[in-house]
Amino acid sequence: MKRGFSVLLLTGALALSACQAPAHAGEASVLAPAAARQSDEARGLRQAIFAGGCYWGVEGVFSHVLGVTSVVPGFHGGAARTADYDRVSGGDTGHAEVVRVTYDPKVVRYDQLVRIFFSVVADPTTLNRQGPDTGTQYRSALVPLGAEQQQVAAAYLAQLKASGIWKAPIVTRIEPYKGFYPGPDYHQDFMAKNPSHPYILAWDVAKVAALKRRFPGFWKATFTRG
């Protein structure tokens, strides 16, 4: 869990290595293929939902993608009454930590966001786990909003499975949309507000660096807040 991992880092045993973690950069960067099925999206801002483990890092990556105008961490998959961080952290609510990304498809298409997601955000082969965090709330999933995203997501997962890039089976799922519930205020823009947080240094800085390295054409230096 994020909390437990942060406590360990703060003891000093891992504090130094958290700032010098080249192994994490390798884990966070696998160049996924360009989508064979490209998105055909209407004009105007669109939204997409991604579950990829701790939402701090997922937000951090997408907030640096050109064409993204908003990234909001929150919860998806369970009931409204259980969309509370403490309850979700128990792993028995059905919710996953997710981000809702608002983007301009004239600048970055949904299929390109999906490619970025699998390249530098989430490991699609780990079931109910990303990095140090375990539990169903840290599963990886695509949550399509509409028929076009559904078709693109299904085609891309099939493409990944056929690519052989990952030796282990791909377990990322497509989940039907069940409502989005924003996370607490203190978790919004977390990486921008807490750049020296031990967890951010250990796991998420490498992901943002991988975005810049792998996708320079989609990189923007400023952090999109909200």
Known catalytic residues?
Answer: 54
- Outline where DSSP puts E strands in the chain: 46-52, 68-76, 96-103, 129-130, 133-134, 140-143, 173-174, 180-182
Rg (CA), the chain: 16
Backbone angles phi, psi at 181, to 5 degrees: -125, 115
CA distance 55 to 45: 22
For 142, the token pair is 């695509």
Q: Measure the CA–CA gap between 213 and 165, rounded to whole angstroms.
A: 19
CA-CA distance, 155 to 153, in Å (whole number)? 5
Is there a contact between 117 and 147 (Cβ–Cβ < 8 Å)? no
